[in-house]
Amino acid sequence: MSDAPLPRVRLATTSLAGCFGCHMSLLDIDERLFPLLERVDFDRSPLTDIKHCGACDIGMIEGGVCNAENVHVLREFRASCKVLIALGACAITGGLPAQRNHLDLGLCLQEVYLTEPSLATGGIPNDPELPLPLDKVYPLHEIVRIDYFIPGCPPSADTIWKVLTDLLAGHTPHLPERLIRYD
């Protein structure tokens, strides 16, 4: 029985209103990517460039929800992934983009595109291709159910590795104090 191959796990990742720093931290697990790839196939991810998420075991999302497209992607992940993980400070709290939350969105756009001289190049963008911004930047758990949270800006590679290996081993992820950091 012990020789039976472990089941492969399908993993999807994406960044919403994030900076891809959490994905850099995922890559920062370095040579541990090789044992990870013995168990994991990547679905939609910046690593594969697959555009839509198929049926997955684990989804990891960095970044908060700042526009209508973010909402669609987040809901697609929730519908496709058995386990959905909020990765990093922005996914968990809205993060730096959420610092606009106490400001009026219209005034923000006006300040950036009309008032600020270095960017004033023809008004507030309104191309129909552009997703509409939301009134606030929302943490993921305010839009869909999130199963696990990996705090940090970004979370360290060790923190991401601990959660992934716990899940691959069939355990509920548990982070010790030294791996729970909010910055």
Partner 1 sequence: MSQSFLLDGVAVPFLPGQSVLQATLAAGRYIPHLCYHPEFRPHGSCKLCTATVQGRLVASCTTPASAELVVRSDSEELLEIRRTLVQMLFAEGNHFCPCCEKSGNCQLQALGSDLGVTTAGFRHYFPDRPVDASHPGAWIDFNRCVLCELCVRASAEVDGKSVFAIAGRGLSKRLIVNAPSGRLGDTDFAVTDKAMSVCPVGAILPKRVGFAVPIGSRRYDVRPVSAQALDDAPRLPRASDV
136 lies in the binding site for partner 1 (CB under 8 A): yes
Q: Which of 146, 160, 164, 167 binds partner 1 (CB under 8 A)?
A: 146
135 in helix, strand or coil?
strand
CB of 19 to partner 1, least distance (A): 10
Residue with tokens 């548990």: 174
171 in helix, strand or coil?
coil
Interface characters, 152-171, with partner 1 (x: CB under 8 A): -x------------------
* Cα-based distances in Å from 72 to 23, 144, 146, 161: 20, 11, 15, 28
CB of 60 to partner 1, least distance (A): 14
In the bound state with partner 1, the residue whose beta carbon lies nearer, of 44 and 161, is: 161
Contacting residues for 146 by C-beta, under 8 A, at least 6 apart: 84, 85, 86, 140
Residues 78-97 contacting partner 1, CB under 8 A: 86, 89, 92-96
In the bound state with partner 1, the residue whose beta carbon lies nearer, of 59 and 94, is: 94
Q: Which of 151, 160, 162, 168 binds partner 1 (CB under 8 A)?
A: 151
CB of 50 to partner 1, least distance (A): 28
DSSP 63: S
CB of 33 to partner 1, least distance (A): 24
In the bound state with partner 1, the residue whose beta carbon lies nearer, of 31 and 177, is: 177
Q: Which of 3, 102, 117, 121 binds partner 1 (CB under 8 A)?
A: 102
8 A C-beta contact, residue 148 and residue 83: yes
d(CA 133, CA 157): 31
**Is there a cis peptide before residue 133, judged by omega within 30 degrees of 0?**
no
Dihedral through CA 120, CA 94, CA 62, CA 46, nearest 10? -10
- Using CB under 8 A as the criterion, which residues of the chain lie in contact with partner 1 when the complex forms? 86, 89, 92-96, 98-99, 101-102, 136, 139, 141-142, 146, 148-151, 153, 175, 177-178, 180-183
